[in-house]
A and B are shown apart, each in its own frame.
Chain A
Amino acid sequence: MNINCQKEDLLYAVQIIGKAISSKNTMPILNGILLIAEENFLTLRATDLDIAIQCNAPADVVQPGQLVIADGKRFIDIVRQLPDNNINLSLINDCDININYASSSINMRGFESEQFPQLPSLTGDIQASIKGEVFARMVKQTAIASANDEIQPILTGIMLDIEGENLSLVATDFHRLTLTKGLWQTQSQQQIQVIVPAKTMLDVANLADAEEQVEISISHNNACFKMGATIFVSRLISGQFPDYRPIIPKEESFKHQVFVNKQLLSSALKRASLLSKDANNTVRLEFKEGKIVMTANTTDIGNIREVIPADFQGEELLVGYNLKYILDFLKVSNSENIYMKLSGNLTPGVMSEEDNASFTYIILPLRLAN
């Protein structure tokens, strides 16, 4: 193998695949990066067996070939520090690699490529595509409710509820639930639910080009995302996602509705977060005609009271919330104003965007002490 490439192309590719390099794995080869030189590009791949990421970098291939660089993370650090010009990578001693730059070189140990795990099949039962911008928005909005609970791995994922061309994404940590709905292009009419790790979905969303299509393939144990020169393959999380449909409150159950400017609410809550230091980050919101009165306090720090102008319909109501949960919604909301619909001070309420009915955030209030 002998190739020439530009540092920026190589750096872009290694930084993407670096997310899949295992640091705890007992198989030494999984600490490595597979390099394949063929045609006009260098293919780089890493995997920890839960995810595999592959990316192509444009290259001038003098001699095709492949090998695994043993210490993938160190290779990325080295590429980062290389001068900004042409890089030559060449195979020496069967499986070591020479990194040649300017008139200098670095030699790194390697493995034979045959030992590196194969990329799982990219052709699944469901093949679909969705515009990068739509996919990224749906994933980022849904992921806020996914949990970090390793005891219940299903809650660390985003559930894809697929019905033909209708795609719903759902996540919950049992205190709140997000549901985003969208359309993707597919020939499949299948009705299926699969759970993909939220972290992988976010990595794909962050990488997706807004104007390009994300091609998605779902098989019985993998989900594959293809965007231009990059492929993500993720193992699905096995288990039964809780039935989310009964959680969604019926429209007729709401007795109170608030319409408020996102920026005003967000700024007030950020100030309150500096004074609400209990375990639940409690903030009290008193909904009154024309306003929300926000209060928070921590005995040994101090207290805050703010009045936020808002359009409120219904009887006056005092509700306690974990302010972090509200801020999470506001961070991923794209509209200028937001709605809060409530049916009581202990029952789930719904937050939604002014101009987007396809994003629903269900949030439980806190039980306030007297």
Chain B
Amino acid sequence: MALRNEILALEDQLNQMLDRLQELRIKVDSMEVQNARLLERLSVENIRSEGLEELTKLYNEGYHICSTYYAQNRNGEECLFCQSFLKENM
């Protein structure tokens, strides 16, 4: 009888542990999804920031970055549309 009670108690503990394990599994899955999203966002922001840096550099070197005159020489004059693009995306 004592042995049977001991087995039942062990079964209870095992079930509790399985429940706990299941909860942890769900939490880990959710954290993995969140982590993947964050990594993706970080990567996009890096690319975007690098792109903007390049465009700012190109503009400061004297070239247009607006869609109408992209990569054409500004001949020393400032451009309303290039500046507006940079301002909007900073």
Instruction: Give chain A's interface residues, CB within 8 Å of chain B.
Output: 152, 155, 172, 174-177, 242, 246-247, 279-280, 346-348, 362, 364-367
Q: B5 near A: Cβ within 8 Å?
A: no
Cβ contact within 8 Å between A348 and B83: yes
Q: Which residues of the other chain, A, contact B76 by a CB distance below 8 angstroms? A: 279-280
Q: How large is the interface on B (under 10, 10 to 19, 20 to 34, 35 or more residues)?
A: 10 to 19
How many Å from the CB of B9 to the closest CB on chain A? 72
Interface residues of B in 4-63 (CB under 8 A from A): none
Q: Which residues of the other chain, B, contact A152 by a CB distance below 8 angstroms? A: 68-69
With A174-B68, A174-B69, A242-B66 already in contact, the answer to whether A247 and B78 are too (CB < 8 A) is: no
With A246-B84, A348-B83 already in contact, the answer to whether A367 and B78 are too (CB < 8 A) is: yes
Cβ contact within 8 Å between B80 and A366: no
With A174-B69, A242-B68 already in contact, the answer to whether A348 and B80 are too (CB < 8 A) is: yes
Q: Which residues of the other chain, B, contact A177 by a CB distance below 8 angstroms? A: 80
Q: B79 near A: Cβ within 8 Å?
A: yes
Q: Which residues of the other chain, B, contact A246 by a CB distance below 8 angstroms? A: 84, 88
How many Å from the CB of B67 to the closest CB on chain A? 8
Most chain A CB inside 10 Å of its own CB: which residue of B68, B69, B79, B80: B80
Instruction: Give chain B's interface residues, CB within 8 Å of chain A.
Output: 66-69, 76-81, 83-84, 88
Inter-chain CA distance A168–B4, complex, in Å, is 91
Q: Which residues of the other chain, A, contact B83 by a CB distance below 8 angstroms? A: 347-348, 364
How many Å from the CB of A6 to the closest CB on chain B? 50
Cβ contact within 8 Å between B79 and A174: yes
Cβ contact within 8 Å between B77 and A175: yes
Closest-by-CB residue of B relative to A177 is B80
Cβ contact within 8 Å between A175 and B66: no
How many Å from the CB of A121 to the closest CB on chain B? 32
Provide a sorted-by-A list of 15 A–B residue pairs whose CB atoms are within 8 angstroms: A172-B80, A174-B81, A175-B78, A175-B79, A175-B80, A176-B80, A177-B80, A242-B81, A246-B84, A280-B77, A347-B83, A348-B80, A362-B80, A365-B78, A367-B78
How many Å from the CB of A103 to the closest CB on chain B? 62
Inter-chain CA distance A173–B83, complex, in Å, is 14
Q: A174-B80, A175-B79, A364-B83 are in contact. List 16 more A-B contacts (CB 8 A).
A: A174-B66, A174-B69, A174-B81, A175-B78, A176-B80, A177-B80, A242-B66, A242-B81, A246-B88, A247-B84, A280-B77, A347-B83, A348-B80, A364-B77, A364-B78, A366-B77
Closest-by-CB residue of A relative to B79 is A174
Closest-by-CB residue of A relative to B88 is A246
Cβ contact within 8 Å between B68 and A346: no
Most chain A CB inside 10 Å of its own CB: which residue of B78, B79, B88: B78
Closest-by-CB residue of B relative to A174 is B79
Q: Which residues of the other chain, B, contact A280 by a CB distance below 8 angstroms? A: 76-77
How many Å from the CB of B69 to the closest CB on chain A? 7
Closest-by-CB residue of B relative to A246 is B84
Inter-chain CA distance A365–B78, complex, in Å, is 8
Inter-chain CA distance A4–B77, complex, in Å, is 57
Q: Which residues of the other chain, A, contact B67 by a CB distance below 8 angstroms? A: 242
Closest-by-CB residue of A relative to B78 is A364
How many Å from the CB of A197 to the closest CB on chain B? 18
Closest 3 CB pairs of A and B: A364-B78, A246-B84, A174-B79
Q: Which residues of the other chain, A, contact B66 by a CB distance below 8 angstroms? A: 174, 242
Most chain B CB inside 10 Å of its own CB: which residue of A172, A242, A280, A367: A242
Inter-chain CA distance A247–B83, complex, in Å, is 9
Q: Which residues of the other chain, A, contact B79 by a CB distance below 8 angstroms? A: 174-175, 364
